[in-house]
Amino acid sequence: MSTATLKIFLAFGYPKRLRTAELSNWTGKAVAGPRSEFDKVLAREESQNPGVYFLTGIDPDTNKSTIYIGEAESIRDRIKSHLSKDFWNNITFFITKDENLTKAHIRYIEGRLIDLAKASGRSVVTNSQSSGAKLPESDREDMEVFLEKMQQVLPVLGVEAFVQTSLEPRAEEKRELLTCKIRKVTSTGYLTPNGILVLSGSEAVLRERSSAQKWPSVMVQRNKLIEDGGLVKKGEKYVFTKDTEFSSPSSAAAVIHGGSANGLTAWVNGKGQSLKELQNL
């Protein structure tokens, strides 16, 4: 993605309340707010425009991050129909300041966003299916640019359903691989803005250690990976079947070690320097 300057306006001075976001040299505009300020969000003039909207929250039954992605010719009119859904606690929508989004445009964007959210796997997408729309080549390219700009703004507003776990580094950036070892088990990965990404093919111990009791939440994550097929048994070890992102080096190391682990010392670079040593350089 290209560099960008983002302007955020806090309507009431608080970062979690009603706010708008705009990128320099872009016609798009985002409006976001908590469900508790539903009426204030819909009182905005922008809500009368066509656009794409997101309802985000935690599913009370599964405790998983959940998102609904929709499109409407009038954001205000459509969103009112979602008040019966109880999972969402935040609303975000995008419109264009030049009012050039057509019905076909927003249907195309909605379809692409649903596909992107499902591919990312960060949130449960509650849409039953993707609508989408066919566009002429020139319009399609314009909407892909619009999508890229949206994906720059969304995480800043707290919507991370589209953040990819593995991002291609820029040509000038050098990604440093890290290694985590214990006994005959070896895992590799690299730091990301959200934590650390453990690469597919990495290994984890087969049996949990007694210290696992100190990390109940991490062990829940480990067991969930096993249940979902993210970790599969091969011989006397588990193997990661896909790139897997963790919120911290320690949580990743604990899953790999099968018990408590200090990620700052467990992960080392090719020169044998630990993360702790690298941070003190």
- pLDDT, one tens digit per residue, over 71-110 is 999 999 998 888 888 889 999 999 999 878 899 999 999 9
* C-beta neighbour count of 104 within 10 angstroms: 15
3-state secondary structure of 28: strand
Contact 85, 79 (CB under 8 A): no
pLDDT score, position 174: 65
In 3-state terms, what secondary structure has residue 258?
A: coil
Those residues of the chain that have pLDDT short of 50 are 169-172
Q: Name the pTM for this structure.
A: 0.73
Determine contact, residues 56/159, Cβ cutoff 8 Å: yes
Collapsing DSSP to helix, strand or coil, 125 comes out as strand
Looking at residue 217, its pLDDT comes to 73
Helix (H) or strand (E) holding 240: strand 237-240
Tell me the CA distances in angstroms from 28 to 24, 36, 70, 71, 99, one per residue in order.
Answer: 10, 25, 17, 15, 9
**Predicted pLDDT at 113:** 94
β-pair partners for 181: 186
From residue 121, give the alpha-carbon distance in Å to each of 58, 215, 239. 14, 24, 20
pLDDT score recorded for residue 168: 52
pLDDT at 171 (0 to 100): 42
